[in-house]
Amino acid sequence: MPLAGLNFTLRPASVVASPFRVLVAFVLLSIPVTTLLYRTTSRLLALHPASTPKSRNTTGKMAAKKKIAIMTSGGDSPGMNGVVRACVRMAIHLGCDAYCIYEGYEGLVRGGDLIRKMEWQDVRGWLSEGGTLIGTARCKAFFERSGRLAAARNLVAHGIDAVIICGGDGSLTGADRFRAEWPSLLKELEQNGDFTAAQLEPYRHLNIVGLVGSIDNDLSGTDATIGCYSALARVCQSIDLIEATAYSHSRAFVVEVMGRHCGWLALMAGVATGADFIFIPEKPRADNWREEMCNVIEHHRKLGKRKTIVILAEGAIDREGNKITPEMVRDLLADPKGLGLDTRITTLGHVQRGGTAVAYDRMLATLQGVEAVKAVLEAIPDTPTWVITINENKIVRKPLMEAVQATKKVAQAIERQDWDEAMALRDTEFSEQYKSFLMTTAVQTNKDLLLPEKERMRIGFINVGAPAGGMNAAVRAGVAYCLSRGHEPVAIYNGFAGFARHHDDEPVGAVRSFNWLEVDGWASKGGSEIGTNRELPSESGMELIANLIEQYKFDALFLIGGFEAFHAVCQLRKARDQYPSLCIPMTLLPATISNNVPGTEYSLGSDTCLNELVEYCDKIKQSASATRRRVFVIETQGGRSGYVATLSGLGVGASAVYTPEEGVTLDMLAADVRHLKEVFARDKGQSRAGRLILINERASKVYSARLIAEILREEAHGRFESREGIPGHMQQGGVPSPMDRCRAVRLAIRCIQHLEQFGRGVHNRVKNDPMSATVIGIKGASVVFSPVQQVEEEETDWPNRRPKTAFWIGIKDIVDILSARPKYVPQEPVLTGRKAKDVKRGIEDYE
């Protein structure tokens, strides 16, 4: 029976099983116990200590365990609890003792029960909690030598010589100074008689690793800090709500967001929501900012816009360093001698810090937490204090003080009013997004951007495949860039099917020019406003498609979509020899929740999908926890790619994840059933006892979410319950996430710029240039264009419609480690064709 207010269906596992399912259960129960409980030595460390056999002590002495402390400091940010959970469990997994220092530096100075040893189950359920559960507090005592001496005394007393700190640049700077003073602090402790030299000897070196928890995203050297995308989600959600009332009353709203020295929140919110104007501290507007703002907004109003949104960072200043307040902007917009707009102010305040972490911040917190533990254990006395960062999709260690000093240089550049240096010191994405915002908000107002008439192109926009969050934002950005440069963007509605069969419909055909006033409102819309379809050019008729491209005089094609769109580009490229009209540049912007397009590690829509799924699983897990001993088996989408299942499993702390890449076996199910029994047997009444298992929709042809739920229920013998949950197409829907919107804008503009390089009438050049048919993607720490021919021949697993290699495969091991999932026998390779026939007949040996 559907639960009220939620768009999913739960089916009890108690439904009558089919004879086939009874047979499967019978086979499962008939397998010898020694087979089901098979373990390999290499995986024993992945078990929870409580279920791991104790190693034999052959020396008569127990080796001292490494003790690692974790603390949060500075302002709280969503995702900090994910850091603590990952650090605690990874430390225990690697044979260390994990401690939490409560109340930040205050707890470090005071010691006592504020420094507590943590067990595996102590951090259960922390991923879905906002703020920081171990607390954070300002500590004036730590600024004094006596306070740092007390902190050193407390660490030594607990046997701790490694600390992982999650906080802002101020907290991390304090930690680095503490480490630099550590030898002198130990010497003073010895002189004071607190410890002997022998007692201090094991703690001569203090290892510190930092993680940046900040909603401002103000640390240089990293693309994102833990919590920033959660805060951005709160900001965008608020502005999306404000836009409805602004449109209704034709009002202007001035929205103030956090960011004293960093305008990241204001900038990204402006890009994601399609705001009319923004103010950030790194790049004050020209001296005549009042006139500039009024001109832009007046232009938008003349186009027919009914709403006006101006976003202001709290640290916004003019070029003279004078503060710009929301009241100043409001009074200017409301001036009856000027625009005379009905203008209101909304200050979002601390609501930006609140709530649970979005999927990206949970992933970032977990992966950086795991990396921090590894960095601590690999550190030597000469190792610098590391800070764990992320560049595009790659987790990277960097020297902490280099990042902190670069961050301070930004503030110093702002004080000197050196705006160019301030922007240069931010990461590449920041400056690129700023240019993107200017391009999309000042459409057809800057005549200097227009190309000469002979260089202007007619570019077709077409969406192919299933809808994905960010498609509309990408189209909007591409259209804005085209109009600003003088190109003619043309919409091809409903994919190649609409192109082939409805291009000349009356009164409105599937091929028509964009209306900017309409497109301008697409920034926050989900789905695809120009429609989309899975049909390939070969299915529509390649000759017909080629003729239509020539008929409508397209100089380039911009495709947005998933694997079908990638396949379409491949077909169009191969058909160039036969159809010269296809010798035009074309590029693909991947957009699919499955994130299975070769040539990229990220696709538009995947982040939106993960957010929807994580929110769904949080609610399901709450239900499972309320009833205590209950397991939910959740079916995820994703085609033959396990990306969605794996990343959402990481974000919700799933007990097990089943993917197509790995498959599902009886041994796997048996191991997981036994593990769940052990977990629930150890449950002595604690809360958050619910468990989740995630399975990709195509992980197995036999073991569906429903069947696995039934097997779990049968094997539980009344000791716990099991249910299934199928979120279905809600994973595709909803308002696109801010990340998908912002990346859509950035990547779409890059795509049009790439097409623009070829110009018009370049058939011969296009035919011989592999870069004339490309896919844009994020690979490692770079945004790259890859030739489709290379990608389709070298990087594509065509039978399974996914890349041959996936960057996220290793993440599944982390999911298993952090859930203490036991070892299982992996699935045997599937035999096909003649090999399978010969083995079945006994002609070849069984492998």
User: Which parts are annotated binding residues?
Assistant: 75, 138-139, 168-171, 214-216, 251, 258-260, 314, 344, 350-353, 534, 592-596, 630, 637-639, 697, 723, 729-732, 801
User: Any idea what the Cα angle at residue 370 is, between residues 367 and 376, rounded to 5°?
Assistant: 135
Euclidean distance between CA atoms 127 and 104, whole angstroms: 19
Sole residue written with tokens 């201090």 = 200
Residue ranges for the binding site for substrate?
214-216, 251, 258-260, 314, 344, 350-353
Instruction: Give the position of tokens 């409903």.
Output: 494
Q: 10 Å Cβ neighbour count for 143?
A: 12
Q: Which of 635, 646, 602 is nearest to 812 (CA)?
A: 646
What 3-state class would DSSP assign to 658?
strand
Binding-site residue numbers for Mg(2+) are 169
Give the closest residue to 442 by CA, choosing from 290, 655, 295.
295
Residue type, 454: K
User: How many residues are present in the chain?
Assistant: 847
Reported as type and span, the H/E element at residue 691 is strand 691-696
Query: 3-class SS at 389?
Result: strand
State the binding site for beta-D-fructose 2,6-bisphosphate. 534, 592-596, 630, 637-639, 697, 723, 729-732, 801
Alpha-carbon distance 816 to 672, whole Å?
11
**Cα–Cα distance, 382 to 107 (Å, whole number):** 28
CA 197, distance to chain mean position in Å, is: 48
Rounded distance between C-alpha atoms, residue 235 and residue 265, angstroms: 8
Sign for the CA dihedral angle at 381, 385, 388, 392 comes to negative
Please provide residue 760's backbone torsions phi and psi, each rounded to the nearest 5 degrees: -100, 155
Maximum alpha-carbon separation in the chain:
93
Rounded to whole angstroms, the Cα distance separating 671 from 827 reads 13
Tokens of 589: 């912007």
Task: For residue 726, list its beta bridge partners.
Answer: 9
Distances (CA, A) of 681 to 60, 561, 627, 633, 721: 32, 47, 15, 20, 13
209 Cβ contact partners less than 8 Å away, ≥ 6 residues apart: 162, 163, 164, 165, 372, 375, 376, 379, 385, 386, 387, 388
* Closest residue by Cα to residue 449 from 753, 219, 698: 753
Distance from C-alpha of 463 to C-alpha of 182, rounded to nearest angstrom: 59
Q: How many CB atoms lie within 10 A of CB 700?
A: 20
Strand partners, 255: 311, 346
Which residues partner with 124 through β-bridges? Answer: none
636 DSSP 8-state letter: E
Nearest to 602 by CA among 224, 226, 188: 224
Distance CA 421, CA 34 (A): 66
Rounded distance, CA 289 to CA 280, Å?
A: 12
- Strands 556-561, 458-464: pairing is parallel
Q: Is 113 a catalytic residue?
A: no
**DSSP symbol at 641:** -
How far apart are alpha carbons 459 and 556 in whole angstroms? 5
Query: DSSP characters for 508-520?
Result: S-SEEE--HHHHG
Contact, 370 vs 94, CB < 8 A?
no
Active-site entry in 76, 216, 740, 816: 216
- Give the sheet arrangement for strand 556-561, strand by strand: 511-513, 488-492, 458-464, 556-561, 586-590, 773-779, 782-787
What is the sign, positive or negative, of the torsion defined by CA atoms of 628, 360, 100, 73?
Answer: negative
Q: 333: part of which helix (H) or strand (E)?
A: helix 326-334
Q: Which residues are catalytic?
A: 216
